[in-house]
Amino acid sequence: MIRRVLSLVVAVSAALAFAPAVAHADGRPGARPLARAHAHNDYEHERPLADALAHGFTSVEADIYLVDGELLVAHDLEDVVPGRTLQSLYLEPLKQRVRANHGRVYRGSPISLQLLVDIKNTGPATYTELDRVLRRYRDILTTYAWGKVLKDAVTVVVSGDRPRDLMAEQPVRRAFYDGRAADLGSGAPASFIPLISDNWNNLFTWQGVGPMPAAERAKLRQFIHDAHASNQRVRFWATPDTPGPARDALWRELVAADVDHINTDDLAGLEAFLRGRSLRQAA
């Protein structure tokens, strides 16, 4: 009887520890952060950034186009709307939240929120404007300066049409380079390429149905091992994202392999999956 009571107390305590709290726009404590949660095409949600933060996500993705001098956020060029900028949707809200949370995106958490900025057009010109804009937010951004990385509340990583040479030549940067599988083991330092991203289907055939082939599991784990040995994080895109057993099976393999960022459009689904695992481990 005593053991049953103790087990119930542990389970309730775990539930309280890992259950999401209510999120607040003014920076008061909200959902507890989930280190692996990445919001793919975050701007397509009803409340860009805010919905991801309400679910505890620690990485969000925004596609940008340079149009008439503005960094406009949209998936396709025909969908851009004047005023719907990287600043208005992401940088300004983050600046306000970090100020309210005493220097953190999530109050009391050392996690630096990753803002993955996917350049969709005119790579060098768009990056040049992005670099100019980011200077206004230097008080919240992780910065590379003269060979050293100074971590802060938000870390910008540039993906898509990223101008590698232009970025590599900068002695001071407020953005980092999103690498690919070919960059793994290339010798490029994590101070330039802190993230290795690639299309899951370019590297693996398994889609979550049945057991993961042993050779692919070994390949995945070696990939993660090699990246982590170079202090680089890993993200795969185009992983199965339809709710169901196949997606859960793939997510379990990603967690077991210690993949850093799990890519999804389903904020509630990934949150429930990750918090559910935490509950089972704590019980």
Q: What is the pLDDT of residues 2-15, one digit of tens each?
A: 444 334 433 434 44
Alpha-carbon gap, residue 63 to 82, rounded angstroms: 15
Alpha-carbon gap, residue 107 to 87, rounded angstroms: 22
Q: Give per-residue pLDDT as tens, 83-136.
A: 999 999 999 999 999 999 999 999 999 999 999 999 999 999 999 999 999 999
Alpha-carbon gap, residue 195 to 142, rounded angstroms: 14
Work out the mean pLDDT of the chain and round it to a whole number: 91
Alpha-carbon gap, residue 142 to 134, rounded angstroms: 11
Mean pLDDT of 52-78: 98
Assign 3-state DSSP to the chain and report helix, strand, coil percentages, each to 5.
40, 20, 35
**Strand pairing report for 57-67 and 70-73:** antiparallel
Q: Would you call 48 helix, strand, or coil by DSSP?
A: coil
Structural domains in the chain, sorted by start: 2-282 (3.20.20.190)
Structure tokens at 92: 């300004």
Predicted local distance difference test score (pLDDT) of residue 31: 86
Mutual angle of helices 267-282 and 2-18, in 10-degree steps = 150
Mean pLDDT of 19-34: 57
